[in-house]
Amino acid sequence: MSPTAPGARTWLTEADCDLAAFRSLVEQRTDAADHPSAERIEQNVPLYDSERLRTLTATPEGRQSVQDEFVRTLLDGPGIVVLKRAFADAAVVDGMSQAFRTLIDEERGTGGARGDHFARPGANDRVWNALDKVAVRAPEVFADYYANDMIALISEAWLGPAYQVTSQVNVVNPGGAAQNVHRDYHLGFLSRQQAAAYPAHVHRLSPVLTLQGAVAHCDMPVESGPTLYLPHSQKFEPGYLAWRLPQFVEYFDAHHVQLPQEKGDAAFFNPALFHAAGYNRTTGIRRMANLLQISSAFGRAMESVDREAMANALFPVMLRRKAEGVPEDWLRRVIAVTAEGYPFPTNLDLDPPVDGLAPPSQADTVWQAVTEGWTPGRLREELQAAAKRRQS
């Protein structure tokens, strides 16, 4: 049985990292017939026109059909989709870019070292935990940006409801070197020895707990170093042990693909896809991307986020936008990114399920506050009381 076949073995070792088996997967061609909603296939990657997707997903049946296609693509296909013009309003992207630049300037002023996962610290401008930093500093900007329907569409397809968003800003400056090839969160952040301690079924499970995303905040020609990808590599079961091995690094360096992006485009991919940020060979482009790690409600998010503070900051914005007539889905998308959608873990002595199998989540409380028109003071008190109930 092939080492890439589900259920082939209980434990994976470096001996399972067969480059020939890997090549048999990644040298497949992406068939356009498998991606009927896509605009085209480019370098083995399906590219989708977001305006067309908005038309296709206007009905529940159409939405489910597109989401089915996304799941097949991320799991059994090339492992990546590019959503062209996911953010159609450039002003929304520019507003968030300015918020990011303000954060970068603030954090530079502190003189603290900014680490990076797969690149030399200090080579890029990196803002950790940008989600709640922007939410509390610029809630209007945050609401307009994260009301985005394409983020919700693909997040729900891969992870189901109650997903959790985290965001890290990455700016690769002119001359900034490429990252090392890698897989991502969860097992991708472990050493090879640590990853090998987890049974094979966890290697298969880990990628479905997270969705990786990158929103382009500027035009990214190839020379500016947009992300390098190896389509179909997410299907290689021992890949969390393989990506550091020299023969796999060499293969990636020789065979990766790299797609230019325009401001407002978004790429989403299976975190097990072999990938790396590219080398910025320009002299004048500060390549800015908003890196999204979107987690299943059943997994651990990468960052600890003060969602109570975020909800309090966003609540007046949502009340005002509701009064201005924004649709219900717009409000729900903002709440999904802002508030905790999963009610556990909690203290069931103090926070018992009453009307169902689980107590209300933080997102449930915020939605109730928006629909019933609570005052900000009441929401603050309710969120504080709920947080206290969840403590052991």
What is the per-residue pLDDT across 31-82, written as a single tens digit (0 to 9) for each? 999 999 999 999 999 999 999 999 999 999 999 999 999 999 999 999 999 9
Say if residue 284 is in the same domain as residue 238: yes
Tokens of 225: 């170093």
Residue at which a domain ends, from 261, 295, 329 = 295
Residue 371 CB-half CA count within 13 A: 10
Assess if residue 4 is contained within a domain. no
334 and 254 both lie in a single domain: no
Q: How far is 104 from 64, CA to CA, in rounded Å?
A: 39
Q: Concatenated DSSP letters for 181-199? A: PB--TTGGGS-HHHHHTS-
8 domain residue, yes or no? no
Burial class for 195, CB neighbours closer than 10 Å (0-12, 13-18, 19+): buried
**Alpha-carbon gap, residue 343 to 23, rounded angstroms:** 43
Q: Report whether 119 contacts 277 (CB < 8 A).
A: yes
Q: Does a structural domain hold residue 288?
A: yes
124 and 38 housed in the same domain: yes
CATH number for the domain spanning 96: value is 2.60.120.620
Query: Do both 280 and 313 map to the same domain?
Result: no
Instruction: With respect to residue 53, please indicate whether it lies within any of the assigned structural domains.
Output: yes
- Are 226 and 319 members of one domain? no
Indicate the pTM of the whole model. 0.92
How is residue 72 annotated by DSSP? H
Percent of the chain with pLDDT over 70: 95
Asked whether residue 221 falls in the same domain as residue 345, the answer is no
Answer yes or no: do 178 and 236 share one domain: yes
**Domain hosting residue 324, numbered range:** 307-390
Confidence category of residue 354, pLDDT binned at 50, 70, 90? confident
Model confidence over 126-176: pLDDT tens digits?
899 999 999 999 999 999 999 999 999 999 999 999 999 999 999 999 999
Same domain, 64 and 175: yes
pLDDT value of position 217: 98
Tally of domains in the chain: 2
Q: Region 300-321: what's the mean pLDDT? A: 95
Residue 168, domain member (yes or no)? yes
* Domain edge (last residue) among 272, 295, 318: 295
**3-state secondary structure at position 286:** coil
Same domain? For 342 and 246 the reply is: no
Residue bearing tokens 């209300």: 360
- d(Cα 176, Cα 279) in Å, to the nearest integer? 6
The amino acid at 181: V
Last residue of a domain, one of 295, 320, 337: 295
Asked whether residue 67 falls in the same domain as residue 193, the answer is yes
Question: Which H or E run contains 364?
Answer: helix 362-372
Q: How confident is the model at residue 302 (pLDDT cuts 50, 70, 90)?
A: confident
What percent of the chain shows pLDDT beyond 90?
88
- 3 within domain boundaries: no
205 and 164 within one domain: yes
Residues 231 and 129 in one domain: yes
